[in-house]
Amino acid sequence: MFFLEINNGIMFIVRKDDEMNKLYVAIIGYGMAGRLFHLPPLLGNPMYVVKYIMTNNEQTIQELKSNYPSIEIIHQIEEALTDQKIDLMVIATPNDVHYAYTEMSLLAGKHVVCEKPFVESLQQANFLFELAARQKKILRVFHNRQYDGDILTIHELIKQNPFGRIFSMTARFDFYSPQVQPRWRERPGVMPGKFYDLAPHLIDHVIRLFGLPKSLQMKTYKDREGALVDDHFEMEMYYEGLTCYLGAGQLFRNPLPRFQIDGTNASYYKYGFDQPDVNYLDIGDSYQSSGLRSELYTSQHEKVNIPILIGKHYLFYDKLAKDIQNNITQDSDKSYALKVVGLMEIAKKSDQINQIIEIPQSFQKL
């Protein structure tokens, strides 16, 4: 498109493409998270242009060149940090560089999305969010599972309140994967193992529904032969009159319910993982045709089948683009991200000392 501009009394014809308003993105790391959870919604959103992907895997490089020839492959994060055109850094690397790469990106004047688990300590998380505020940039932790269809369905169900007083909730990620794999998540290092991998999702679910607990207890296990890090955890979060049971394991041949909610008037059970697992199309309130069990029991023998919403994972990057455009750097995502890191830090201590630990009152201010 062409516009007239006047500068010092001289009229110019200036071309202003829609590209000028787009957000240019560098995806740092291209494993499962980059491939499945970041690149598709970014490519599907007209507000973003993915300029760079950082990877050093030769097979991945060839696949990217074949499938996405317009995306440039880089090998070092500095190549993106020094490009003034890059607005957003997506940190989808192994966990050991989350802190360093987030700090480097903010110092370079970029907005940042960082994969979970974010960082090891609340002190580190606070520092990075404070740095983002000083830099006047947005920092978001990628809690994309808040947009899963089943948890969206549960939020709606709790609003309708068929349960009476809820006294128990269970949320799980169980699999049957008996062989230890030669992957970084299954080797000793920074934030390895199943607890760091999946607890962020489950804790985020619970605190969005019920707020902070009064105390918690967590225990990790190495169930599989040859396991070098935890492949199973069980965690309990204690509220006044309510206990939330969280867990994940890799030797569950007949998995427990994905979600279970029990109240004085009704119970809800949902089995299996959403189909589709993620959805990046805005199709409104549509329902899965997966046939997964999603049942509300009002007595021992009376049940109602509850339709499961299709997920709305596109909302994460939709919301981020609007916030960047409107210069909104503070919202509830920061509070939840800090609380998840703080609760996980306490949970690790609980695992070490094998005790229930009370949550500090200071967490209410996060």
| pLDDT above 50: residue 346 | yes
Q: Please determine, for residue 1, whether its predicted confidence score (pLDDT) is greater than 80.
A: no
Residue 80: per-residue pLDDT: 98
Of 142, 167, 202, the residue that ends a domain is 142
- For residue 217, being part of any structural domain is answered with yes
Q: 162 and 306: one domain?
A: yes
pLDDT for residue 13? 40
Q: Virtual CA dihedral for 39, 44, 45, 50, nearest 10 degrees? A: 40
Q: State how many domains the chain has.
A: 2
Give the three-class secondary structure for 166.
strand
Cβ within 8 Å of residue 186, ≥6 positions away: 180, 192, 193, 227, 228, 229, 231
Of 108, 142, 176, which closes a domain?
Answer: 142
In a domain, 203, yes or no: yes
Residues 55 and 95 reside in one and the same domain: yes
Instruction: Compute the distance between CA of residue 222 and CA of residue 229 in angstroms, rounded to an integer.
Output: 7
The answer on 307 and 175 residing in a single domain is yes
Please answer whether residues 240 and 233 qualify as being in contact, where contact means their C-beta atoms are separated by less than 8 angstroms. Answer: no
Output the CA torsion sign for 100, 106, 109, 113. Answer: positive
Whole-prediction pTM: 0.92
Task: Give the structural domain span for 198.
Answer: 146-316+343-365
Q: How far apart are CA 31 and CA 119, in angstroms?
A: 19
pLDDT recorded at residue 18: 53
CA atoms within 13 A on the CB side of 212: 22
* Mean pLDDT, rounded, for 266-283: 96
Task: Please compute the mean of the pLDDT values over residues 1-21 and round it to a whole number.
Answer: 45
**Alpha carbon separation from 125 to 89, 137, 359 (Å, rounded):** 17, 15, 17
- Does residue 8 have a pLDDT over 50? no
The predicted model gives 51-78 an average pLDDT of: 97
> In this structure, are 156 and 282 located in the same domain?
yes
Say what percent of the chain tops pLDDT 90. Answer: 91
Quote the mean pLDDT of the chain. Answer: 94
Instruction: Give the Cα separation of 29 and 56 in Å (integer).
Output: 9
One domain, residues 112 and 151: no
110: domain CATH number is: 3.40.50.720
> Could you tell me if 105 and 201 lie in one domain?
no
In degrees, rounded to 5, the angle at the alpha carbon of residue 120 between the alpha carbons of residues 119 and 123 is: 85
Distance CA 265, CA 162 (A): 7
Is the pLDDT at 3 greater than 90? The verdict is: no
Shared domain for 168 and 298, answered yes or no, is yes
| CATH (domain of 275) | 3.30.360.10
Same domain, 136 and 151: no
Phi, psi of 242 (to 5 degrees): -145, 135
Helix (H) / strand (E) containing 80:
helix 78-81
**Span 221-264, pLDDT tens digits:** 999 999 999 999 999 999 999 999 999 999 999 989 999 999 99
CA distance 178 to 250: 7
For the chain, give the percent of residues with pLDDT over 70.
95
